[in-house]
A and B are shown apart, each in its own frame.
Chain A
Amino acid sequence: MHDIRLRKPMANPSAAYGAAPPSGVHHQTLAGLLVLASLAVLMLVGSRVDPAFGTFAVLGVAIGGTLQRSRFCFNSAFRDLIQFRSGRTMKGVIVGMTVATAGFGIHMRNLLPNPSLGPIAPEAHAIPLSVALLVGGMLFGIGMVVAGGCTSGSLYRIGEGYLASWVSVAGILAGLVLASHHWNWWWQHAIRRAPVVWLPRYLGYGGAVAATLVGLGLAYGLVLWIESRGGVGVQEFTAPASVRSFHEKLREIVAAVFGRGWPAPVGGAVLGFLNVLSYTAHMPWRVVGELSRWGNAAAAVVGLGPGPLQGTDELSACVVTVGGGVFTHGFLLNVGLIGGSLAAALLAHEFKWRIPRRPVRYLQSLGGGVFMGYGSGLALGCTAGAFFSAVPSLAVNGWIFAMALVAGASIGLRAINWIP
């Protein structure tokens, strides 16, 4: 038996999370509802300016809430598999990509009925297979393990009150600015002539979806095999069998959704579904293209802007960007993500200002962030854009990026062992 055992029998399932005061509503519940209400007002006001404003703000909030509830951490998906042979989170990631693969396939067929002619479906995350993708993936893998979270992870942890995540994001922005300065070199020497391998061009949509699903099935099998070789299982929380009355059942549902963490496959499936919605509204879920815009705008203020970037209009996914308005869809996704995570953390009574006590942790967050920023600049995306949204885009680059991430995460784990 390796399940969580609460010290007292759970007469009240909601007692499983943050102890509520004996009477009245917990102050974090009130704060969470207030955050949700403020987000709703912002969306309604914004939707009068642009209808898509509301859509992407809602998607951002939903993605942030899902990441927080399921503790969906791409970093731990790779790290736990390597370190503990535990595939708990990675299985959730694979479930999410499976859901998105079907949805992306249908949507891309609507966008571009005949994929064999040459062009790639608009906004699909099909990225050139170049050395930059490999180097970028490895740097990103190192950075996420050292910083203790990837880009989307750092954003949702800002919502949970992690001070170090602000430092990580600052590092990511700095890394993206640096990558923007080096961009033209990488474009000329590596990315420009590299091939894009988008499966529907060769296999049609049906074949490409089937091949990707088989690939995901094999990946799931590989995770199971790794677990069977001395991995440690973690049992998901199960509802107490004693729940009977309607009132108790309602309370149990509320506790399961808002209180306890969601099982990884549930989080993955919801995230995959939200990704499909995001693509049908405009573009797959992506994070760092927008962050590069923030970084470069800030750099330009102090005279360190990167200047014109070559070839970026020929590329999709999270290509480094300069300029543009403030309220883009990417802005709403990223800022909504932080707001959604904050609301979810408050409703679960899990918000807390988390302040590292060891100064070296700030250095790790900053350094890891710079590695992630530079790596995602080269690879045209992070674990969200170049992996979670790339594999369902039916492009080979998502798989290559994942392999580079594994290599980088292994190096990152060695580095972590030297830092007490």
Chain B
Amino acid sequence: MDFEWHLFVDSLPSLLHGARTTVALAAAAAVFGLIIGVSLALLHATAFPPLVWLVTGWTTLMRSLPLLVTLLFLYYGLPSIGILLSAVTVAIIAMAITTGAFVTEIMRAGIESIDRGQIRAAKSLGMSWVQSMRLVVLPQAFRRVLPPLTNEAITLLKNTALVSVIAIPDLLRAGTDIMTWKANTFSPFAGVALVYLCLTLPLVALNAYLEQGIKRSQR
């Protein structure tokens, strides 16, 4: 099967349309994943044993399950207990809780990397635990974990390709549709790969830039 230049070019508009869905899904999942991750990391930071166990158990579970399994479980499993959710809702939930588990681990490590002296100083100034987290620990932890967070964003963006299995018209699905109609795999998939690259490369560059920034500030 040959590469057909005109088919490649013709497929680009519908691929870009699919890419919009991909980006929107990834963005929504990133926002919710970040909220979940920061919240769970803070619950973990309370050092209150039941909360710590709960958070550790949940993140271990969600980091161990393949996203595809979570996706299919929610999509095909939930209706059998009477919960009907749209494919897009299921996709966002599945990706948010999966990425949220990884963000939890990243944030937890970030929070724990902040020198104990910082918390002591905050406490000695009369700050409550919440104030010391909000004003002293989290701002520093965020700066430190920005590179791994961008890495997680790259993973998330690529993982959105899995939602095509529950019939969401994302970038990959747009490619497979063209492949089916035009009976040509090479040309549309070259386009799919190209568009994914265009989406992820800026994040890869951002990641590299932030890593450098951290190295600079440590000199």
Does B associate with A? Answer: no
B interface list, Cβ under 8 A from A: none
A interface list, Cβ under 8 A from B: none
